[in-house]
Structure 1
Amino acid sequence: MRRRTGLAIAGAATLAWGEWLNWRWSRALIGNSGGDCEAVVVLGFQNPQATANFVNRWRVRAGIRSLSADSARGSRGTRVIFSGGAANGDAAEAQLMADYATSVLTFDGTVLLEDRSATTWENIRNVIPLLEDVDRIKIASQPAHALKARAYLRRQRPDLAERLVRADDYRPGEWMLLKPLLALYGLWTLRGLDADERMVSP
């Protein structure tokens, strides 16, 4: 009985730890920039098949739900940018995500594609020209990956990074069983970030 209780406590603590880390990452390097025009950048995941895979489908949904209510109604200049090249397949990740957004989710807002990048650094570098005229920037992916991308925008264009606001890519309980694994992987992928790039924004 004690062993079962100990295992249950350890399991609950592990889930809580994964939840907490993903929550923290989703709130790092963001501000409260105002304005009517926003861009949501959805980062692609390796996709060797001919249609968007599970991870990319979730990222598309997270990106679309990240649009604020006024933007979802068609605020002028607001856009969703799908970013990712053809890393492991014939079709670019950006195109597969855009196809899923428009044909399956029937998204009818403005969609832009960045279909040349192969790394997160390139994702950010290549979408910068598409962000120059917006008031708010949201980056949608798994929280650790999105934080890494925000840190890269801060390094490449600190002026644009001041426009970063939170995307709706973290929700309590979503991916709960996988969040400890995502947290472990996130700790590894974020090891190159400075301490101030991990701080939760006020």
Structure 2
Amino acid sequence: MRAWTLPAAGIALLVWGEWLNRRWSRTVVKADLGDSRAVVVLGYRNPSESINLINRWRVRAGLRSVGTGAGSDTVVVFSGGSVGGGTAEARLMAAYARSALHFEGRILIEDQSRTTWENITNVLPLLEDAQRIAIASQPAHALKARAYLRRQRPDLADRLVRADDYRPGEWTLLKPLLAAYGLWTLRGLTGAERRQ
């Protein structure tokens, strides 16, 4: 084996992880038009009473997705029940947004969901008035949620826009693992749902 083979394979793996996560973040979304925006932030299993690393990152990605100059009709919806025990993920994320990130915008909490399907089902009533809907999570998970929204409410799916949950170089070393896990979690989607 040549000396450059292993480093080249490592670089190719990193590029593949970046490419796939970028692609997923831009799938099943429309042009970002409209005034009122709802940003849905999906929770991740949180077994303790303090917010975990993944949920902290998802909150930051969600707040980045609000954008600059957001109007008073913009809302951030934190979604997630008490999957790992203790306080509901949505409540931990909302508290983190307020206390650690000093977010002063409008927040709604959906704290009953235990699965991604339930996340979408339970936030639908909170999204009716939004002209734009962004779903913030890891790109594969957000794509799955957008596909679920399309299945449950195709009329709202036309309002889906990209969240700011993919940035080049962010989580780079983990992106190949996230891509591999994402491929596994997206296996239940149709090919069309993964490409639109």
TM-score, normalised to structure 2, is 0.98
- Alignment deviations for residues 136-157 of structure 1 (CA, whole Å, 9 cap, x no partner): 0000000000000000000000
Q: Which amino acid aligns with 1:167?
A: A
**Separation in structure 2 between the aligned mates of residue 115 and residue 4 of structure 1, nearest angstrom:** 52
Task: After TM superposition, list the pairs within 5 Å mapping 1:6-155 onto structure 2.
Answer: 6-71=5-70, 75-155=71-151
Is it true that 1:187 corresponds to 2:183 in the alignment?
yes
Superposition RMSD in Å: 0.9
Instruction: Supply the AA of the counterpart residue of 1:87.
Output: V
Shift of 1:69: 1.4
TM superposition shift of 1:85:
0.1
- SS of corresponding position for 1:190: helix
CA displacement, residues 102-143 of structure 1 (integer Å, 9 cap, x when unaligned): 001010000000000000000000000000001000000000
Report deviation, 1:179: 0.3
**Residue from 153, 158, 175 that aligns with 2:154:** 158
Task: Give the deviation of 1:51 after TM superposition.
Answer: 1.3
One-letter code aligned to 1:18:
G
Deviation by residue 1:4-44 (Cα, 9 ceiling, x = unmatched): 31000000000001111101100000001522100000000
State how far apart, in whole Å, the 2-side matches of 1:55 and 1:33 are: 26
State the SS of the aligned residue for 1:17: helix
Q: Is the contact between residue 72 and residue 106 of structure 2 (CA under 8 Å) also seen in structure 1?
A: no
Which residue identity is paired with 1:154?
R
For the 8 Å contact 1:33–1:135, the answer to whether it is kept is: no
State the alpha-carbon separation in 1 of the partners of residues 167 and 151 from structure 2.
27
Matches of 2:23 and 2:180, distance apart in 1 = 14
SS of the aligned residue for 2:2 comes to: helix
Partners in 2 of 1:149 and 1:197 — Cα distance?
A: 11
1-structure distance, mates of 2:172, 2:42: 21
Helix, strand or coil for the counterpart of 1:39? strand
- In the aligned structure 2, how far is the partner of 1:62 from the partner of 1:163? 19
Which aligned segments of 4 or more residues in structure 1 are displaced greater than 4 angstroms? Answer: none
What's the CA shift string for 1:154-188, capped at 9, x where partnerless?
Answer: 00000101000000000001100000000000000
- CA deviation after TM superposition for structure 1 residue 76, in Å: 2.8
Number of paired residues?
196
User: 1:52 Cα deviation (Å)?
Assistant: 0.8
